[in-house]
Every structure is written in structure tokens, then in C-alpha cells.
Structure 1
Amino acid sequence: MTSPEHSTPPQKQSAERSYRSPAAMAGGVLLLVLALWLGGDAVLRGDAHTKLTALFALLLLVPLVVGFTLRPMVRADEERLLVRNPFRTITLPWGAVEELRASFSAEVFTSGGKYQMWAVPVSLRQRKKANRRAERGARASAGGGFGAGATDAGPAPRATADQTMDELRGIKERVAAGEGAQGEPVVRWAYEIIAPCVAGAVGLAVLLAL
């Protein structure tokens, strides 16, 4: 007598997505390496005034580089959209999101205003290139001939920012009506970035005034 087989119930597909700018992150790493190299050399080899200047400059510049390159991120799950910008983190329940738009920048709109999404940069050049390719494919398809078969292989190309906004809109449509997706936007200032920047700027101002 054989025992009955136990099948594993299918898991619910998660809507979680994370978006960051690889170019910004790569640039941020390079800037940090350069700043730490130059600043570290000044701290080790300079006189007292130079050392203090380098320390305050690093205290100002390093958080700024991190804030504008490594920190920005957009994360979407089944209940909320989290937008992490250089100086703020905005948590938006999907029910509070009214519109997602990418024109000259990627933005999310609520009844209380709009928030820019730094982690989703809009490249107008990339968008124009994608539009030209789509137009050529449409003309080839309408005219028939050898070029028509290539356009049937898949959808027209889209710019990266436009693809990202399409994905976010799709998540919103699926989950915005859920009970866990209701609530009000919450905005938190990134004091871990702001505080050292202010301290570095004040320190540099004092040194320059002396």
C-alpha cells in the first residue's frame, strides 16, 4: 500500500520590485574612492589646518555623494510604494497613489502632491531612440516585405524609465484596492545624510572665517 503524495500548494506570486540606477551607483562608488583617496592623503600628510579642512570636507561631501548616487531606490510590494530620495524617504500605500508619470523626470502623484523618484532617471535620448525604432518597425510592418517578420518577434522597444513606470502601474492596478494598501503617505527626512552634511558645512565655514 502506497502512501498518498503530498503536493505543495502554489505560492502567491509576490509583487515586490526594487529599482535603482546602475549608472548612478557606479559613479557614486568612483566618486567615493576619489574623495577618500584625496581626503585621506590630506589628513595623513597635511598640517593641522589642512587636516581639519579635509575632515570637514569629507564630512560634507561623502554623505552628499551617498545621498545622490547610492541611496536612491524605489521599492514596490503588494501594499505600498517606497520612494527613497537623497534627503527623504516617502512611503506611499498604493491606495493613496493617484498617478505615475515619467516626462522629464519620474514622478508619483497623490492627493497631497507629487514626489520625484530619483532612482528612476528619465533619458530623453533613450526614449527618442526607442521611438524611432518603433516607428521604423511600424512602417516595415505596414509595408510588408522582409522587414515585417522582424517586427512580429516581440513588442516595440521602450525606454527603461517607461518600462519601469509600466511595471509600477501594473502593480498598482492589481493591489491598490486591497485592505493592506490603504492609508496615508508618510515622509521621513534622512537625518543620517542631512546631519553630517550640515556639520561639515558649518565646520568649513568656521575654518574659512578664521
Structure 2
Amino acid sequence: MTAAVFPKTPPGAKVFRSSAARFFGWAWMVFAAANLADIIWRGHDAASVVAATVMLLGCGVAYVGALRPRIVADEEGVRLHNLLRDVEVPWRGVERLEGGDAVYVHAGGRRFRAFVLQISPRNRARFEAKARRQERKLPDHVADHVQGRTHTDYAVEQLREMAGQRSRGAKDGATEPTVTWAWPAVVAVAAPAAAFVIALLIALL
């Protein structure tokens, strides 16, 4: 499973995120830091400034696309931290949790898709074929439980369990979903992108 419970979450809360995406995100950060150090040490021209802004833009993209996306479920509800926006749904407002190619939360007559833990139809078919081969090596009661389940399915199962427990205990409170812009993520991409355009124009003039 690439859906992992983050160890620093509050008691009773769970965070689902992609371990593979985080690995590649941090790998880019290390690569960019090494290149920026080299640019600062050796670069003294306009091309070096352009290269530095490219590295910074890559860091912004890595943060937004690999390090930031996650699903957080706690006592209050479930939050989808996507690329540039956050979706927060109180447990009483969750109408349905759906799996498949991604994690979907139905609330307020709308369907919200989580960016993290997505799986393409081709990869899902490949996973299910591999699971069927492995089932022959497992006891029947174990095979029935894991049959065809992807990391997306496991996350949905845990979220459904939490939703059932929390919604029964909550008798009042908000029910409508809230969608907000994640301004730190917007700035993380927009600022270096603007710097890159300015540096490129200066280099070309």
C-alpha cells in the first residue's frame, strides 16, 4: 500500500498520501538544491539566473504535485488537499465515499475527487490480474479479503469506517462542503514562474 498513516497526526486522525510521489518530490528537492548551490558558486550571468528560476519552479511543482496532495481524516471530517485547492467535508455532510480510479467524496450534491492515490484503468487491470495470481498462494479467508483491492480501495474502506463511526456520534454541526484556494501552493508555483519569465526576458534583451 502506498496509502500510509502519517505518524505525526493527532490521535484518531489518519493521513493518506503517496509514498512514491513523496520520494520523487524530495528527490527533486535534493537535486534542485545541489544545482542551486552550484549556480550560486559558479554562475554570474543571465543564463545562470534563468537556470536558477527553472530549479525554483521545479521545486514549486514538486511541492504542489508530489509533496502536498493528501487526504486527512480526523474527528471533524475529511479534507482533500489537492494541487491548488482544499476540500473540507464534515462527516455529517458525507453522502457517499467512492473508490475506483481515485478516491471520491460525495457531499452537497457534488462529487469531489482526491488528486492523491489515483490509479489508471490500465494499472488497475494489471493490479487485479496480479492479485488473482497471488490468490492461489493464499488461504481462502485471506484471499477473499484482499481480492482485487488497490491502495485506493483500502483508503476508501478506512474512510467509510471512520465516516460511519463519526457521523453516528455527531448530532449537530455543519454539513456543507467547503472549497478554498491553497494560497501557499499557488504562490509556490506562481512566484517562481513569474521570476522565470522576467529572467528569460532580461536574458533575451
What TM-score, normalized to structure 1?
A: 0.76
Gaps of 5+ in 2: 1-10
Using a 3 Å threshold, how does the CA distance of structure 1 residues 116 and 207 change in structure 2: closer, same or farther? Answer: same
Q: Quote the residue 1:161 is aligned against.
A: 152
Q: Quote the residue 1:190 is aligned against.
A: 182
Using a 3 Å threshold, how does the CA distance of structure 1 residues 35 and 121 change in structure 2: closer, same or farther? Answer: same
Query: Which whole-Å deviations, capped at 9, do the CAs of 1:103-136 have from their partners, x for residues lacking one?
Result: 3222212225222212323264664355446657
Q: 2:140 aligns with which of 137, 151, 157?
A: 151
Query: Which whole-Å deviations, capped at 9, do the CAs of 1:40-79 have from their partners, x for residues lacking one?
Result: 3123211231332133223322121011111111111232
Deviates more, 1:129-138 or 1:200-209: 129-138
Query: Which whole-Å deviations, capped at 9, do the CAs of 1:124-178 have from their partners, x for residues lacking one?
Result: 466435544665788x7xxxxxx8x821346233211111111111211222241
Using a 3 Å threshold, how does the CA distance of structure 1 residues 152 and 90 change in structure 2: closer, same or farther? Answer: closer
Q: 2:167 aligns with which of 166, 176, 180?
A: 176
Distance across 1 between alignment mates of 2:186 and 2:118: 23
Amino acid at match of 1:79: E
Q: Quote the residue 1:36 is aligned against.
A: 33
Task: Work out the number of aligned pairs and report it.
Answer: 189
Structure 1 position 107 matched with structure 2 position 104:
yes
Which has the larger Rg? 1
What TM-score, normalized to structure 2?
A: 0.77
Q: Quote the residue 1:8 is aligned against.
A: none
Q: Secondary structure at the match of 2:196?
A: helix
Identity of aligned residues (%): 25
Q: Quote the residue 2:69 is aligned against.
A: 72
Amino acid at match of 2:184: E
